[in-house]
């Protein structure tokens, strides 16, 4: 398949929801954006069809002052048990070194001209992959990503957390750059960071992608960490139902049954994405190249496995209907009766 022959609409399936060209930091920090994904359009599509793991680059918070930063660095260094690595390869070991760094960054911020009292000290970022990724490759990719993204302009430190089966890297970046620029990423920057991190992983032999949710048939956003923790506590019987979840259940129960326009737009977009995949599958299966035909068949199987395009309200309503059907079945069945055979 030629990378130049792409069916109309197919590029929409892999295009991010935000325009990376609007990134506030990418032109200055990353320089010229990376070239096309490894292997071009075909390579990216093959990774999507194979179910390549998706990278996660997530901003988890900002520290407010030196004390807050110190506590955060204590956390990611496991109270000094883990070594924090900086941009020049410097290694900070022990709580004294970690606290000294927090004091230095806070002092730099205090000298910023025109500084606002609520100006954050640092940005906290988590870089991760699904379970099963080799920790040392993830760590090395994070090192390369941080150097390419922030090196020379925004000081940073990072540490690998390798507990259990889900390794991830905590990256802490000083908000005040060496040239006085403030770190203030947009959504477009986050998408550019995802793409860069995926590329650094692939350079190290790790299958990784940074595609939008719609390319994988996913509609619902993942819940924020705080909501997930509240939900887990509720499920464990340790807290009341979170208000966000209670409100979602109420809307699912009391809903009019008429889908709002935005939900119809989601379904229409998903339908367009699936049609684009099917069009590519059909075109490839007509090719005279056996490899193209095999790839077309793989795309067809991939489309068949895509999940339902349903929102959270759709999911909750489906659960309510299933519970109602189960209750009606149990009522109709009634208790077993005993009697003598005649």
Confidence of residue 77 (pLDDT cuts 50, 70, 90): very high
Same domain, 171 and 244: no
219 is a domain residue: no
Confidence class of residue 114 from pLDDT cuts 50, 70 and 90? low
Whether 159 and 264 share a structural domain: no
Residue 326 in any domain: the answer is yes
Q: Do 179 and 297 share a domain, yes or no?
A: no
Instruction: Based on the fold, state whether residues 66 and 182 are members of the same structural domain.
Output: yes
**Which domain, by its residues, includes 249?**
225-331
Look at the pTM and tell me if it is higher than 0.85: no
- Judgement on whether residues 186 and 245 belong to the same structural domain of the protein: no
Together in a domain, 18 and 52: yes
Cα separation, 96 vs 3, whole angstroms: 54
The residues near 265 (Cβ < 8 Å, ≥ 6 apart) are none
The Cα-based distances of 311 to 26, 30, 231, 253 in angstroms read 32, 35, 18, 14
Does residue 341 lie within any of the structural domains?
Answer: no
Instruction: Note whether residue 63 is domain-resident.
Output: yes
Binned at pLDDT 50, 70 and 90, residue 24 comes out as low
In this structure, of 48-52, 96-100, 205-209, the range with the lowest mean pLDDT score is 48-52
Q: In the predicted model, what is the mean pLDDT of the chain?
A: 78
> Both 193 and 253 in a single domain?
no
Q: What integer pLDDT is reported at residue 20 of this predicted model?
A: 55
Which one of 165, 193, 213 terminates a domain?
A: 213
Q: Are residues 184 and 235 in the same domain?
A: no
Residue of higher predicted confidence among 127 and 280: 127
Distance CA 335, CA 106 (A): 71
Mark whether 29 and 50 lie in a shared domain: yes
Min mean pLDDT across 56-60, 176-180, 295-299, 309-313 is at 309-313
Q: Which of 213, 235, 260 is the last residue of a domain?
A: 213
Token code pair at residue 216: 């994988």
Kindly report the CATH number assigned to the domain that includes residue 201.
3.30.930
Last residue of a domain, one of 213, 248, 264: 213
Does the CA dihedral 25-31-33-39 come out positive or negative?
Answer: negative
Contact 59, 65 (CB under 8 A): no
The pLDDT of residue 7 is 45
Render pLDDT for 248-305 as a digit per residue (tens, 0 to 9).
667 766 665 666 676 777 777 778 878 888 888 888 899 889 998 999 899 899 888 8
- What whole-number distance in Å separates Cα of residue 220 and Cα of residue 181? 35
Structure-model confidence comparison of residues 299 and 331, the more confident one: 299
Q: Is residue 19 part of a domain?
A: yes
Count of structural domains within the chain: 2
**For the purposes of burial, counting CB atoms within 10 Å of the CB of 97, is it exposed (0-12), middle (13-18) or buried (19 or more)?**
middle
Together in a domain, 175 and 304: no
Residue 339, domain member (yes or no)? no
Domain co-membership, 140 together with 47: yes
Neighbours of 16 (CB within 10 A): 18
242 and 200, same structural domain?
A: no
2 within domain boundaries: no
- Is 144 inside a domain boundary? yes
* Dist. CA 122–CA 291, nearest whole Å: 49
């Amino acid at each position: 398949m030629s990378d130049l022959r792409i069916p109309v609409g197919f590029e929409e399936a892999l295009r991010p929801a935000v325009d990376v060209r609007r990134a506030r930091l990418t032109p200055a920090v990353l320089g010229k954006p990376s070239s096309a994904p490894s292997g071009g359009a075909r390579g990216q599509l093959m990774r999507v069809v194979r179910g390549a793991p998706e990278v996660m680059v997530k901003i988890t918070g900002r520290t407010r002052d030196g004390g807050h930063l110190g506590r955060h660095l204590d956390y990611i260094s496991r109270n000094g048990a883990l070594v924090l690595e900086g941009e020049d390869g410097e290694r900070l070991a022990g709580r004294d070194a970690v606290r000294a760094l927090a004091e230095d960054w806070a002092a730099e911020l205090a000298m910023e001209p025109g500084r606002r009292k609520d100006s954050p000290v640092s940005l906290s970022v988590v870089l991760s992959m699904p379970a099963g990724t080799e920790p040392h490759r993830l760590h090395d990719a994070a090192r390369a990503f941080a150097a390419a993204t922030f090196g020379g302009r925004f000081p940073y430190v990072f540490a690998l957390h390798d507990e259990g089966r889900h390794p991830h890297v905590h990256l802490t970046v000083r908000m005040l750059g060496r040239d006085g620029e403030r770190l203030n990423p947009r959504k477009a920057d986050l998408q550019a960071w995802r793409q860069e991190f995926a590329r650094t992983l692939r350079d190290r032999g790790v299958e990784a992608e940074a595609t939008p949710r719609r390319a994988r048939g996913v509609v619902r956003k993942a819940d924020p960490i705080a909501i997930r923790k509240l939900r887990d506590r509720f499920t464990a019987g340790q807290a009341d139902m979170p208000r966000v979840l209670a409100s979602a259940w109420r809307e699912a129960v009391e809903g009019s049954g008429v889908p709002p326009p935005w939900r119809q737009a989601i379904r229409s977009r998903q339908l367009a994405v699936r049609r684009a995949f099917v069009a590519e599958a059909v075109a490839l299966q007509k090719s005279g190249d056996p490899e193209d035909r095999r790839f077309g068949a793989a795309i067809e199987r991939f489309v068949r496995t895509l999940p339902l395009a349903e929102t959270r309200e759709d999911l909750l309503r489906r659960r309510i209907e299933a519970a109602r059907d189960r209750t009606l079945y149990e009522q109709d069945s009634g208790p077993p009766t005993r009697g003598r055979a005649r």
